[in-house]
Chain A
């Protein structure tokens, strides 16, 4: 395994697409439940938590890209190899592969739960899981360019959902948002922490970086993508707080979908059915990106072909879906993955940034000495 990867020119894509990748990786099933999760911690100042979390994302993203720029063209797996050496790096890389696989799993399971709760209560989990995995495998087999294409199309096709928030806005009561800034700093910090699982996805830049053509522009487009996600999350949170009364918001599992319940189009009375179905287009790029990252890791670390890794993981995911049946267990798993996401996506990259920079400075000094 080499530190630097130099993919063929025809496999690479333009830098502006990183906007779409980061944004679609960030918005997934999480956004449907986000307002409630943060509201539980930060109360009516939840939206401040989201804004602050968005700023935190931008800072971490900046550090990540600076870290990547120290090298020519590498990904996180390569950086690990450079920093920790051959054997320890394997441990870290396996951790990340496992992490992305579990993120894929959690997203899939949560989406399936959503479908079962809203549209098809009788549909078995394994069937939906099988169909979604089939679609996902089909996309990922096409390679990174197809995955990026899915991200682009997913955003374009599901973009109109954003405008559907207009009706709930009419029902908003701004009194619910006032008075501002009454939550304690601790509550707001807890809110930031809780929103981290929804906001992850921006760290995928660490893995797709080698495939980007104009590496100089990554920072600019990356920040735009993450900024748009933050904006969207903030809007959704503000509208949810205004729309629901406090008791109702604490009870509602998917506030965003429940808000769609009041939408009524003359020949389509129940809009949330469409929303849940269309949500698949939102999560498809999501799971494809994470799944690609995991399978890509297998290739980089163990040098097996990516195809084999994809098939292996697909079967694994499908078998795992048979194990969990109820909502409580799934909630615990989601929480566990959420906690690790805060460490692996926010904290650890900053730490790694320092290590890389230290090593770089150390090397330079040595070079001068000799």
Chain B
């Protein structure tokens, strides 16, 4: 009997003592949800941190801390002196890098995120249009309870609706670490009382070199990942559709027709050919639904629809070509042509420098097949 009681007590001990190894009281912690880094004078970096701190007496659970140091963990150390809550980074959701800092390279700051086991690999990385401090400290007209969570949800819902290329730490590290692929991150901008994604930052290695506008991302993303429910706005010359127009055009721009397609299902294929100068065949198949037109058209006419399909395909093809040439010109490769080329090269290894040279001379053949499956609920 006594033996059994002892055994029971021992079992209970394992239940009750298991949390005694390292205590962390939620009320005494400052949960960092977002960090931002900027370039400061004398090789220092300015760190901005957004925290959650739970205190029943306080209304405002958000707090922003700013300080300067040489390393990112040094910033945390000096910020710890400025708050009565112990700073922990397990809830870190998003990091923002200032434009100037990103232009100098961010790999050393990304490295520490990866090294710290308390930070997950699904943290989002973003670039600020001006400084990270401005983004994180921005007073929006409609204030969210926490800037970090707001930015995280902003990026996440856009990734989920396939408007952004997923910018997680994991993907950055993979792109940065492989020969023949460069990272691409969203660019945040704060203006008019709100913070949103304004464009995309293109990288060479870990250096921010060029930004592209948000309407161009479709053409890059379609070659990186397949769409399940994407959408894009296309611009077509009006004259070709003249015979099919039902009413005289209403808009001011007389020679263009704008069309919005959505529910895009796409699949892409990039094939590299083994030659001295690399050449790539890019194929993109799109199935979509027509949602909006700036002019009214007789869509019940199959000819009109065929013409529309072809024209939209041509438009996308043209834009993809332009974008690829632009990327080539800038020497950045977010799509990963280099990894494709590397995988067919056989025994020779491809170094970064070599690929940089080869990329400049590479040629691309783009082919887009477009198909409109539905035109909404009306013809």
Residues of A bordering B, CB below 8 Å? 117-118, 120, 122-123, 171, 173, 175-176, 178-179, 182, 243-248, 258, 261-262, 264, 269-270, 272
Contact of B178 among A123, A246, A269, A272 (CB under 8 A): A246
Contact of B347 among A122, A175, A182 (CB under 8 A): A182
Contact of A244 among B174, B344, B347 (CB under 8 A): B174
Residues of chain A within 8 A (CB-CB) of B336 are 175
- A246 touching B177, Cβ below 8 Å: yes
Residues of chain A within 8 A (CB-CB) of B177 are 244-248
- B178 touching A176, Cβ below 8 Å: yes
- Given the known interface contacts A123-B21, A270-B120, the answer about A179 and B346 at a Cβ–Cβ threshold of 8 Å is yes
Given A182-B347, A247-B178, A270-B90, 20 more pairs with CB closer than 8 A: A118-B117, A120-B22, A122-B22, A123-B21, A173-B178, A173-B339, A175-B343, A176-B339, A179-B343, A179-B344, A179-B347, A182-B349, A244-B174, A244-B177, A245-B174, A245-B176, A245-B178, A245-B181, A261-B170, A262-B122
Residues of chain A within 8 A (CB-CB) of B305 are none
Nearest CB in chain B: distance from A232 CB, A: 23
Is B342 interfacial (CB-CB < 8 Å)? yes
- A173 touching B174, Cβ below 8 Å: yes
Per the bound structure, the CA–CA distance linking A118 and B181 in Å amounts to 30
The 10 closest A-B CB pairs, nearest first, are: A245-B177, A247-B177, A178-B343, A245-B178, A261-B121, A248-B177, A175-B339, A175-B343, A245-B174, A262-B121
- B117 touching A117, Cβ below 8 Å: yes
Nearest CB in chain A: distance from B165 CB, A: 14
Residues of chain A within 8 A (CB-CB) of B117 are 117-118, 272
Per the bound structure, the CA–CA distance linking A154 and B130 in Å amounts to 54
Per the bound structure, the CA–CA distance linking A182 and B348 in Å amounts to 8
Nearest CB in chain B: distance from A265 CB, A: 12
Is B345 interfacial (CB-CB < 8 Å)? yes
Per the bound structure, the CA–CA distance linking A258 and B174 in Å amounts to 13
Per the bound structure, the CA–CA distance linking A246 and B175 in Å amounts to 10
Is B260 interfacial (CB-CB < 8 Å)? no
Residues of chain A within 8 A (CB-CB) of B178 are 173, 176, 245-247
Residues of chain A within 8 A (CB-CB) of B226 are none
Nearest CB in chain A: distance from B232 CB, A: 25
Residues of chain B within 8 A (CB-CB) of A247 are 176-178
Nearest CB in chain A: distance from B181 CB, A: 8
Nearest CB in chain B: distance from A125 CB, A: 14
Closest residue of chain A to B338 (Cβ to Cβ) is A175
- A178 touching B174, Cβ below 8 Å: no
Secondary structure call for the B interface: loop
- A246 touching B179, Cβ below 8 Å: yes
Secondary structure call for the A interface: loop
Give the contacts of B155-194 with A (CB-CB under 8 A).
168, 170, 173-179, 181
Is B340 interfacial (CB-CB < 8 Å)? yes
Residues of chain A within 8 A (CB-CB) of B168 are 262
Residues of chain A within 8 A (CB-CB) of B173 are 245, 248
- Give chain B's interface residue range (CB within 8 Å of chain A): 20 to 34
Closest residue of chain B to A243 (Cβ to Cβ) is B174
Per the bound structure, the CA–CA distance linking A44 and B59 in Å amounts to 55
- B346 touching A269, Cβ below 8 Å: no
Per the bound structure, the CA–CA distance linking A269 and B122 in Å amounts to 10
Residues of chain A within 8 A (CB-CB) of B342 are 175
Per the bound structure, the CA–CA distance linking A182 and B90 in Å amounts to 41
- B170 touching A262, Cβ below 8 Å: yes
Residues of chain B within 8 A (CB-CB) of A248 are 114, 173-174, 177
Pick from A117, A122, A178, A246 the residue with the most CB of B within 10 Å. Answer: A178
Residues of chain B within 8 A (CB-CB) of A117 are 117
Q: List 8 A-B contacts (CB under 8 A).
A: A182-B349, A243-B174, A245-B174, A246-B177, A261-B120, A261-B170, A270-B120, A272-B117
- A120 touching B21, Cβ below 8 Å: yes
Residues of chain B within 8 A (CB-CB) of A118 are 117
Residues of chain A within 8 A (CB-CB) of B120 are 261-262, 264, 269-270
Nearest CB in chain A: distance from B273 CB, A: 14
Closest residue of chain A to B179 (Cβ to Cβ) is A246
Residues of chain A within 8 A (CB-CB) of B343 are 175, 178-179
Residues of chain A within 8 A (CB-CB) of B181 are 245
- B90 touching A175, Cβ below 8 Å: no
Per the bound structure, the CA–CA distance linking A176 and B176 in Å amounts to 14
Nearest CB in chain A: distance from B21 CB, A: 6
Closest residue of chain B to A261 (Cβ to Cβ) is B121
Nearest CB in chain B: distance from A154 CB, A: 18
Per the bound structure, the CA–CA distance linking A25 and B344 in Å amounts to 39
Nearest CB in chain A: distance from B58 CB, A: 25
Contact of A179 among B121, B176, B345 (CB under 8 A): B345
Nearest CB in chain A: distance from B76 CB, A: 15
Residues of chain B within 8 A (CB-CB) of A272 are 117
Closest residue of chain B to A184 (Cβ to Cβ) is B347
- B344 touching A245, Cβ below 8 Å: no
Per the bound structure, the CA–CA distance linking A258 and B122 in Å amounts to 11
Per the bound structure, the CA–CA distance linking A173 and B180 in Å amounts to 13
Per the bound structure, the CA–CA distance linking A243 and B170 in Å amounts to 9
Residues of chain B within 8 A (CB-CB) of A269 are 120
- A123 touching B22, Cβ below 8 Å: yes
Residues of chain B within 8 A (CB-CB) of A176 are 178, 339
Closest residue of chain B to A183 (Cβ to Cβ) is B347
Nearest CB in chain A: distance from B185 CB, A: 16
Residues of chain B within 8 A (CB-CB) of A264 are 120, 122
Per the bound structure, the CA–CA distance linking A272 and B116 in Å amounts to 13
Nearest CB in chain B: distance from A131 CB, A: 11
- A178 touching B344, Cβ below 8 Å: yes
Per the bound structure, the CA–CA distance linking A270 and B119 in Å amounts to 9
Residues of chain A within 8 A (CB-CB) of B22 are 120, 122-123
Closest residue of chain A to B343 (Cβ to Cβ) is A178
- B346 touching A175, Cβ below 8 Å: no
Residues of chain A within 8 A (CB-CB) of B114 are 248
- B175 touching A245, Cβ below 8 Å: yes
Nearest CB in chain B: distance from A217 CB, A: 38
Closest residue of chain A to B173 (Cβ to Cβ) is A248
Residues of chain B within 8 A (CB-CB) of A173 are 174, 178, 339
Per the bound structure, the CA–CA distance linking A179 and B346 in Å amounts to 5
Closest residue of chain B to A178 (Cβ to Cβ) is B343
Per the bound structure, the CA–CA distance linking A122 and B23 in Å amounts to 11
Nearest CB in chain B: distance from A120 CB, A: 6
Per the bound structure, the CA–CA distance linking A333 and B21 in Å amounts to 29
